[in-house]
Amino acid sequence: MTADPSLLPLGELTEALATRAVSAVEVLEACLTRIRAHDPAVHAFLRLTEERARKTAQESDARRAQGQARSPLDGVPLALKDIFCERGVETSCASKILMGYVPPYDATVVERLHAAGAVLVGKLNMDEFAMGSSTENSAFGPTRNPWDLSRTPGGSSGGSAAAVSARFVPGALGTDTGGSIRQPAALTGCVGLKPTYGRVSRYGVVAFASSLDQVGPFAQDVKGCAHLLSAIAGRDERDQTSSARAVPDYAKALGRGVSGLRIGIPPEFFGEGLEAEVEASVRACIAELQKQGAQIVPVSLPHAPFAIATYYVVATAEASSNLARFDGVRFGLRAQGAGSLGELYGRSRDQGFGAEVKRRIMLGTYALSSGYYDAYYLRAQKVRALIQRDFARAFAEVDCILTPTTPTTAFKLGEKSDNPLAMYLDDVYTVPVNLAGLPAMSLPCGLSKEGLPIGVQLIGKSFDEETLFAAAFAYERATTHHTRAPALG
C-alpha cells in the first residue's frame, strides 16, 4: 500500500479501511495535508469543515474497531460541490447573492452520505449556479486544472473534478445539467457519472434547470463511482421526480465484462471540431472493447446536432423561473439604499448575480415571454422529443453508446471567456444525454502530446447504469489511464 493513503483510489481505499490497513483519521489527515500544500494553487475548495470531519473520522474508526462499519464508504473523505445544502455550512453556489447563507437542513444526498459513514471535508468551487463549462464564472475566482494550472478543469463541477484529480479527496459529488460532471471529469482525467434522471434525489440541491439537473459522483476509479452511486441513489418522498426503482449494488456489476455487449458508435459525434488526438484515443478505446468481445454497431442520432440550441432554450427558461426566488428578501445578499420593493429586487439581483447568470436569466425570460413561447420554448421541447426518440431507436439495436466526452482537451483559462458560444459548444457531446434523461459516464482514455487528459463517454439505457459500470471497468482493467496523476509535487 502507498505510504500516502490520500493517493489511494476510492475503490482501493474502501478495501484498505475494511481490513484496517489504514484508519479513517490517517486518511483524513493525509488529505488535509495535501489540500493545504496544493489547493492554494488549484483553488478547488471554497471552505473546509476540518473539525467536523475529524470528529466523523474518529467515530468511523470506533465503528470499524467494533466490526460495525455502515457501508464501504465508512471513513472515506469526500467533498461536495457548493450547490448541496449542508446543515450549518455556508452554501453559496459560488454566487455573491448567496454569500452567508447557511442552510438549516441537509440535502438528501448529504443525509445519505452521513448515513453511510462518509467523512465530508468541505465545499467545492463551481461555476455560479452551475452555469458554465470552465469554473471561471465563480464569484470567488476560477479553479485551475491540476494537470496544467494555466488551463480550466472544466465546469460547472470544476472544483469537484479538480479535487479528485489532484488527490485532495478520493471522491466528490457534483451535478450535471448539460455535461457538468462528465466534461470536467474528461478534462481532469477522472471518472464522472451522470445517472439517469430521477435515479438520485435533487432535494436540497439548488436548482438550475429542474428537468435536466442530476446529481452524480466523481472518483479516480470506476469502482469508487459505483460505491458512491449505491450510497446516494433511490427514492426520496421529498423529491417527486425521484424513481421508486430498487437500487442495485452497482459494484457487483463490475466483473461482468463486455463479451457480446453491443456498443453503438454514432457518426454524428465524430465530425467537424473533434481534435485528432481526442478521436485517436477514443478509437483506441473502441478497439480495446472490441478485442474483449464487444460488438461494434453503427447507430445514428440524427437530431444530436440540434441539441445545443435546444438545451440553451430549455435550460435558460427553467433557470429564469428557478432563480426568481433570489430577490434580496428571504436569504442571501440584500442591496442597501433601495427606495422601493422593486428597486430592492433590481439592485440585489444586479449586485448578486454574475454576467453569465444574468445572460441566461435574460435569455430564458425572453424565450418564455408573451409572443415568443411557441417560437422558442415549445419548439425546443418538440426537438427534445425528437432527440429522445433517436436514442430510443438506437437502443433498440445496442446496449450502450460510445462517444468522445469533449471535442478538445482542456483549454486555457480566459481563452473562451469573451465568446459564450464557443464555451457552449464544449458541451456538444454531453448535452443530448441530459435532454434525453439518460445515464452517461466519462472515464480516462489517454493523454494528449501536451500531457492533458482525454475522456471517452459511455451512454446507457434508462436506469441501466450497471452496463456502464461493467463496460467501464472492463476497459479500466485493461489500461493504465486511470492510474495517471498530475505532477503537483
Q: What is the tens place of the pLDDT at every residue in 426-438? A: 899 999 999 999 9
Residues in the chain: 489
Class of domain 7-256: alpha beta
Let me know if 238 is exposed, middle or buried by CB neighbors in 10 A (0-12, 13-18, 19+). Answer: exposed
pLDDT at 489: 60
Low-confidence ranges of the chain (pLDDT < 70): 1-2, 489
pTM above 0.85, yes or no: yes
Give residue 2's pLDDT: 56
CA distances from 248 to 234, 252, 370, 479 (A): 10, 8, 46, 26
What CA–CA distance (Å, rounded) separates 216 from 15? Answer: 22
pLDDT of res. 243: 98
Burial of 190 (0-12, 13-18, 19+ CB in 10 A): buried
Choice among 92, 138, 165, 180 that is catalytic: 180
- Which position among 23, 60, 81, 281 bears the catalytic label? 81
Annotation says 81 is catalytic: yes
Task: Say which of 134, 156, 160, 281 is annotated catalytic.
Answer: 156
55 in active site: no
pLDDT at 371: 84
Residue 196 DSSP class: P
96 is known as an active-site residue: no
